């Protein structure tokens, strides 16, 4: 009649599942993604499909090889999300093999080798991006100025295919990203007030009409997606807020110190992949700390690292490196930063109350 296996309760469960979480994250990414695909046209669409497809196929192949059941893991949506985030961190007109290689690195090396979902130390999409960046710096830094789908300067379907698959395509109108351009110009000794006016309009950057990877384009739509995730309680505010506040603080301080060489906070927030990282990548549950205080530390560390790499290291954009570096700190943070247990002080000893009026009087 009824099942009487003595499985412990509760005998009620929130309507939630791993796939629901992944699907919500993907849903939150959809507006920014669609906008970017429209901005960068057919080549971007091809690269996106190739990257996501590779991740799904790689996941299936690994599961088959490990003789694990396919359906539950494939349907949980984690491989889809990894592929999606990776695609959004690539230059939109990158050749097809970048997507394939990236997908394989992300799923096989960064996820399945560690033991599959929940086991990986590093965010798979960021591992793939960094590996690609180091191995193929030319392909990974070749950006194009947006040319919205169906606009005269946009490549058609056939041309798009040619671009992605490296056949004889039209020449790319390459354009540097905002962060890249500024770094280059600063390096040549120009002060900011001379550089910025020509290339940086906070508004267009927020809307996303500049060169960049797909995830670097529309800060506004990414922010919208992030707020959606917060409202659905898929993520908590700790990591995004800590990241953004720290980054903004660092930028503001340096900007006050020397406005000619250090751009202000808004520049750092809308430029580059800041919001994608803060809301979608740093909040990857597997590779971020579990306690709220730990998450604050993680976010703050991330903000500092992003700022430092962008400002002083060899790369104009440091989000992927910063995330990987913070990922390595996660186990440490989780070990040392724990919530206080009910009825105990921070050291773990039972609470004692100073006034003895309410406490035990005799034994």
Residues that bind other proteins (CB under 8 A): 1-18, 20-21, 72, 76, 78, 116-119, 236, 285-286, 288-292, 295, 334, 338-344, 350-353, 357-363
Token duo for residue 243? 């990241």
Q: Which residue's CB is nearer to other proteins, number 70 or number 253? A: 70
At residue 292, φ and ψ (nearest 5 deg) are -55, -40
Tokens for 16, please give them: 């939630």
d(CA 250, CA 228): 27
Count of helices and strands (H, E) across the chain: 16, 0
Closest to other proteins by CB, 64 or 68: 68
Given the complex with other proteins, which of 167 and 351 has the nearer CB atom? 351
Q: Which is nearer to other proteins, 159 or 334 (CB)?
A: 334
Nearer to other proteins among residue 15 and residue 193 (C-beta): 15
Q: Which is nearer to other proteins, 260 or 341 (CB)?
A: 341
Q: How far is the CB of 358 from other proteins (least distance, A)?
A: 4
Q: Nearest CA to 251 among 242, 261, 241?
A: 261
Which three-class secondary structure state does DSSP give residue 344?
Answer: strand
Exposure string of 175-185, with b = 16+ CB inside 10 Å and e = fewer, is bbbbbbbbbeb
State the nearest-atom distance from the C-beta of 292 to other proteins, in Å. Answer: 7
* CB closer to other proteins, 9 vs 187: 9
How far apart (Å, rounded) are the C-alpha atoms in residues 156 and 164?
12
Nearest-10 crossing angle of helices 238-257, 292-312 = 40
Q: How far is the CB of 19 from other proteins (least distance, A)?
A: 9
Cβ distance to other proteins smaller for residue 9 or 197:
9
Shortest approach of other proteins to residue 345 CB, angstroms? 9
Q: Where are the alpha helices (DSSP H) in 258-318?
A: 265-270, 274-275, 292-312
Sequence-distant (≥ 6) Cβ neighbours of residue 344 within 8 angstroms: 350, 351
Distance between CA atoms of residues 146 and 61, nearest Å:
35
Rounded to the nearest whole angstrom, what is the least distance from the CB of residue 240 to other proteins in the complex? 15
- Chain mean position to CA 220: 15
**Of all residues in the chain, what percent are helix, strand and coil, respectively (each to 5)?**
60, 0, 40
| Min CB(95)–other proteins separation in Å | 33
Could you tell me the smallest distance in angstroms from the CB atom of residue 230 to other proteins?
Answer: 13
Quick check: helix, strand or coil at residue 174? strand
CB of 264 to other proteins, least distance (A): 34
Q: How far is the CB of 74 from other proteins (least distance, A)?
A: 12
H helices of 165-210, in order, are 178-187, 192-199, 202-207
**Cβ within 8 Å of residue 196, ≥6 positions away:** 182, 263, 267
Give the residue with the Cβ less far from other proteins, 190 or 338.
338
Q: Which two tokens stand for residue 47?
A: 């690269």
Compute the radius of gyration of the chain from its Cα atoms.
23
């Amino acid at each position: 009649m009824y099942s009487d296996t003595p499985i412990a309760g509760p005998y009620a469960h929130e309507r939630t599942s791993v796939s629901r979480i992944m699907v919500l994250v993907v849903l939150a990414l959809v507006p920014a993604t669609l906008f970017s695909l429209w901005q960068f046209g057919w080549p971007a669409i091809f690269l996106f499909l190739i990257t996501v497809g590779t991740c799904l196929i790689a996941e299936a192949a690994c599961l088959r090889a490990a003789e694990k059941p396919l359906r539950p893991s494939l349907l949980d949506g984690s491989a889809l999300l990894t592929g999606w985030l990776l695609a959004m961190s690539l230059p939109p007109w990158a050749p097809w093999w970048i997507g394939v290689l990236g997908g394989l690195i992300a799923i096989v090396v960064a996820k399945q080798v560690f033991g599959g979902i929940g086991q990986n130390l590093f965010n798979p999409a960021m591992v793939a991006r960094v590996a690609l960046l180091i191995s193929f710096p030319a392909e990974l830094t070749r950006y194009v100025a947006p040319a919205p789908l169906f606009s005269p300067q946009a490549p058609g379907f056939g041309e798009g295919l040619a671009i992605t698959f490296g056949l004889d395509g039209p020449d790319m109108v390459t354009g540097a990203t905002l962060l890249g351009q500024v770094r280059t110009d600063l390096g040549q000794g120009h002060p900011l007030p001379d550089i910025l006016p020509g290339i940086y309009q906070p508004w267009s950057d927020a809307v996303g009409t500049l060169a960049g990877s797909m995830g670097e384009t529309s800060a506004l739509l990414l922010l919208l997606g992030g707020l959606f995730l917060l409202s659905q309680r898929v993520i908590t505010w700790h990591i995004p807020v800590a990241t953004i506040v720290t980054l903004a603080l660092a930028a503001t301080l340096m900007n006050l110190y020397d406005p000619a060489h250090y751009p202000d906070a808004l520049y750092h927030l809308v430029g580059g992949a800041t919001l994608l990282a803060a809301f979608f990548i740093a909040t990857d549950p597997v590779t971020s700390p579990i306690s709220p205080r730990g998450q604050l530390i993680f976010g703050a560390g991330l903000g500092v690292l992003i700022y430092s790499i962008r400002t002083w290291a060899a790369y104009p954009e440091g989000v992927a490196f910063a995330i990987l570096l913070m990922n390595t700190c996660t186990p440490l943070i989780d070990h040392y930063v724990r919530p206080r247990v009910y009825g105990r002080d921070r050291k773990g000893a039972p609470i004692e109350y100073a006034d003895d009026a309410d406490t035990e009087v005799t034994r």
